[in-house]
Amino acid sequence: MIGSTDIIDRINKCLKQKQNVILSGLSGISRAYFIQEWLNSRKGKLLCLVSSEEKAFDLSQDLAQFIDHQQIFRFLARDYVPSKENYTLAEQERMATLQECVLHPFRRRIIIATPGGIVYKLESPQRIKEQLLPLKPGQELVLEQVLRQLVVSGYFRVDTVSSPGEFAQRGGIIDIYPLGQPRPYRLELYGDMIDSIRSFDVESQRSLETVSMIHIGPAREENRLTQYTIFDYLDPDIGIMLDEPKDIKSGLELYIRRWQESIKEAPEKAEDLKRWSFLESQELQQLLEQRSVIYHSFFPGRIVPVKAGIIEHISQKEMEFFINEYERLFKRLKEWQSKNYRISLHIKSRAGREQLKKDLVDYHLSGIEISSKPLSSGFISQTLGVALISENEIWGKQTNRRVKKKEKKENRILLENMKIGDYVVHENYGIGIFRGVTQLETDGITREYILLQYAGTDRLYLSLDKLDLLFPYHASEEKRPRLSKLGGSDWERTKSKVTQSIQEMAEKLLKLYAARQAQPGYAFSPDTPWQKQFEDAFPYQETPDQLSAIRDIKADMERSQPMDRLICGDVGYGKTEVAMRAAFKAVMDGKQVAILVPTTVLAEQHYHTFRERFKQYPVAIEVLSRFRSPTQQKKIVADLEAGAIDIIIGTHRLLSRDVKFRDLGLLVIDEEHRFGVSQKEKIKMLKQLVDVLSLSATPIPRSLHMSMTGLRDLSVIDTPPPERYPIKTYVLEYNEDIIAEAIHTEIERKGQVFFVHNRIQDIYAVRERLQELLPRVSIGVGHGRMPEEELSRVITDFLAGSYHIFLCTTIIESGLDMPNVNTIIVDEADRMGLAQLYQLRGRVGRSNRIAYAYLTYKPEKNINEMAQKRLNAIREFNELGAGIKIALRDLEIRGAGNILGPEQHGYIQAVGFDMYCRLLERETQSLKGLQQEEKSTPLLDIDMDYYIPDSYIRDSGTKIRIYRKLMLAQEAEEIEEIKSELRDRFGPLPGPVENFLKLSKLRIAAGSKDIKSLRRKGNRLEIQLERPLSKNISGQIKGMKNSRYRENTISMQFEGQVSLRQLQQVLDVL
């Protein structure tokens, strides 16, 4: 490792002598490599200033390939729009950085900051230090005082802690999620003393490991008395690097100029804003002059004029590829070794590492590092004397590697948290409203019941052992269901109608499926070498779901029965790539491929995507839509019949009578549910002859996926592609200054904007208003009532960059890919459903830039609670909170409707989605002859208190979740697991809870003995079985005075009250 230590030693020496260093030539992986080498060569922290947020995210991703991500801190811009309901990622990271500097000034860490991050002045490090609350086991504390301090420091009090900046208290247990910590912590008190501190998992809420000490820092930054900068938090001898200093300076000036303009334009709010103080570029200049700094720019010509002790250009280039050229690889390795380079091979797979070790011995090479740390790409640098090679460069992309799928966890606890007022469905009583968990006392015994409200004044106290018949009611968003009437026959009628329709649909699907399987089709050949080459050229890493869908499709195509597979997955999850690979496979066998899409714009977009992806291969691709002149269309149709076209992409024009194929082998249908009835009939005719692949952008639920097995071949893609940057989401009153600011910022970085206004009648008035506000900005308008020709033209012009803003209703094409649009403004977002907002927000953030979503509502408007909840949930989407699960739920219900057909939609509405899935599952099971025996749960009626007191668990949703787990448990071990969860999360178990756990174990034991019911009152016990009793058991039971038998029932009388131990003994004898 000659070169890199040599140059880094020289740099450190120079900096020590208070001289600057000027470097050029580094980028990407080589820059990250250099920074981590520099970090490891010295003590303490490094501050690396980069010019933009995107660059900060990129650098931290590159660095994470060399050092632990916990060593990397980001200090990015504060939010321009103050938001109060939760802390954004940027706010969390800023507080974490400041606390790290105060608590561990000499710990080896790297801080990546941007002009927007350092521009705001801060409160003093001393003040932050004073606000830190150190906690350790054995420490005494006054509970009220600690809770008050948390609130003052900006923490939110909640029932269940799920994101940074929250805390919860349950008796002697405090859960807290400090900002800047990777996990939340649980404090257990013993009186006024901390007994233990444990970290815990947000998903399961279970404790992980014991901790000896934590520091709880403030959750928000102060805006007044701020006159310090990030440099005041750092040691004077810290290493500082400025990457592209010219861009940093202009970035800083732009921030301040923007801020001054916003104060000028918004004087009524300016009082608060005027208190904020800023770091001007002159002041930054002075701060840097007092220190020795590395100034780096990729091009030597962009270096800033400063005095320097070293000026060095670091030569480096991307690593060459050695795919299938093993000899050349080892020749290069020998060459580099002769020059004394440090060589490191980064191979993730163990088999690959073992193979290379053997090969290096065979080629007589030693002293070469083999690392298991994956690297996105390698590089070679003569100046640093280093060569890093990634797996990718040796073997190409390893697409056949099976990627381990993450276990699907039970939905985050919060979702099971049924809120009071939520709609529920009971299998036997119908749709009601959940009114909470309530306690009733009868004959001195206290029990808990679930209170459900039905039509009129009807109420139902549901006993906890009937919980498995209760489902949350989900149907498509805004409609409220009609409550059922207790005692009427309406619900039974509804249920049987739904069951009948499901039966008919399932039978129809089953027949279709069987008929297709019986038909002879064309069996495609196995993959060709070209196919592998085509797949290796895909620039991204496939997700596990993509790989499994591709495997399914290829297996289907190689069978002699015709394929009919549906691929479901959200927008941007990579369905098109899957379809392109299938198309390539078909073309390799000399077959033609037709891609059918619902709109002209989508056809054009697919055409360009396919052309780009297939450009290395002799494949003829055409598009047939209204954008082609009649003459062009005529020629395309003739070529198609003659076989001169391999892949044709088109709208329903492809279904016209004049379109004939020479040898069609594969039909790909995008968003079939968006075609009309007559078009669907024509599609059906086409389908009978060829392999069919359907794509749908509405995700579908797993439960539906499972129950459709054997009725339809389905592949679900639900792993999102790795996000490069989070989408910054703001929920705010509509404020023209902020909107104008957002639009200007986007246009300044050469981007475009979606402005969604969902009312056609005044969309042109909105355009006038925007035009007045932004006179130099061009605006295109689009809505669903425009003729398709005109709408397509506007969208195409917008795609080509003719407009800055596309003002439209919610018609923004669900399949369209517009990477240049990275700001979306939604007007009156409170009037839209969660799923709609989620899909709109997904229109941006599909490129290498940070995207912004502004969800606005009218200033004078009072938002109802429902809309408020929706908007808050949307803002938390960045963290995949509970809100997103609900939105996805909503989309899934739509997806289900699209797959099962519109007539089923009403039935889903009638019984709720969860209930519908259960009925569907039963029906398909019975059709396949897999009739499942429904095991009945024994009914236990024991005269003792068994329930969860409010003083132990306050939140009714959490209670129901625990009750439900206890009721569904099948093994005694599960009860023990629940017991330890309760002990961990809520503290020592009260008597009634202990009783409940013991009875749950008894219920499991009773279930294995065919017991129908078991009643105990005082010294009497009655047991009813599902089978006849053998009468010779009374002699084996201790303490029994007498007994009476009827064929399936035994009644017993004991000397004193029957204890739970005696009960267990009776069960053992049975």
Give the Cα separation of 452 and 418 in Å (integer).
12
Distance of CA 984 to the CA centre of its chain: 28
Angstrom distances, CA of residue 471 to CA of 203, 432, 492: 22, 10, 16
What is the Cβ-side half-sphere exposure of residue 105, based on CA atoms within 13 angstroms? Answer: 13
Tell me: the pLDDT tens digits for 633-681? 999 999 999 999 999 999 888 988 899 999 999 999 988 777 776 777 7
Of 201 and 849, the structure prediction assigns the larger pLDDT to 201
**pLDDT digits 0-9 by tens, 979-1000:** 999 999 998 999 999 999 998 9
Q: Is the alpha carbon torsion for 61, 65, 69, 71 positive or negative?
A: negative
Within a 10 A sphere around the Cβ of 615, how many other Cβ atoms? 9
Q: Where residue 591 falls among pLDDT bands split at 50, 70, 90? A: very high
Q: How far apart are CA 686 and CA 699, in angstroms?
A: 26
pLDDT value of position 408? 39
Report the C-alpha gap between 206 and 175 in whole angstroms: 11
pLDDT at 2: 42
* Residues paired with 1053 in a beta bridge: 1020, 1042
Say whether domain 939-1069 belongs to CATH 3.90.1150.50.
yes
Q: What ranges do the domains of the chain cover?
A: 2-126+224-313, 133-216, 320-395, 413-506+904-927, 519-717, 727-897, 939-1069
pLDDT score of 402 more than 70: no
Helix (H, G, I), strand (E, B) or coil at 942: strand
Integer Cα distance of 922 and 902 in angstroms:
21
pLDDT at 611: 94
CATH class assigned to 413-506+904-927: mainly beta
Determine contact, residues 920/707, Cβ cutoff 8 Å. yes
User: Which range has the worst mean pLDDT, 89-93, 425-429, 1065-1069?
Assistant: 1065-1069
Q: What is the CATH number of domain 133-216?
A: 3.30.2060.10
What is residue 701's predicted lDDT score, i.e. its pLDDT?
60
pTM of the model: 0.76
**Cβ-contact 58, 96 below 8 angstroms:** no
Sheet strands (E) in 579-699: 592-596, 621-624, 647-650, 664-670, 691-696
Q: Please say if the pLDDT value at position 1055 is more than 60.
A: yes
Among 3.30.2000.10, 3.40.50.300, 3.30.70.100, 3.40.1190.20, name the CATH number for the domain at 727-897. Answer: 3.40.50.300
Domain 2-126+224-313 falls under CATH 3.30.420.40: no
Enumerate the H helices of 369-466 as residue ranges.
Answer: 391-395, 413-416
Q: What is the tens place of the pLDDT at every residue in 675-711?
A: 776 777 777 777 777 899 988 876 666 556 655 666 6
Tokens 């240049």 correspond to: 820
Q: Is residue 293 pLDDT above 90, yes or no?
A: yes
pLDDT tens for residues 305-363?
A: 889 999 999 999 989 888 778 888 899 999 999 999 999 999 988 888 998 899 889 88
Task: Tell me the mean pLDDT in the region 798-803.
Answer: 92
How far is it, in rounded angstroms, from Cα 751 to Cα 852?
12
Work out the pLDDT band at 134, boundaries 50, 70, 90. very high
Task: From 52, 46, 88, 72, select the one nearest 221 (Cα to Cα).
Answer: 88
The predicted structure's pLDDT at residue 87: 73
Kindly give the pairing relationship between strand 779-782 and strand 752-756. Answer: unpaired
Q: DSSP state, 1036?
A: G
**Domain spanning 519-717: CATH superfamily:** P-loop containing nucleotide triphosphate hydrolases (3.40.50.300)
Residue 692 half-sphere exposure, CB side, CA atoms within 13 Å? 20
pLDDT at 413 over 80: no
Predicted pLDDT of residue 699 = 60
**Same fold: 133-216 with 413-506+904-927:** no
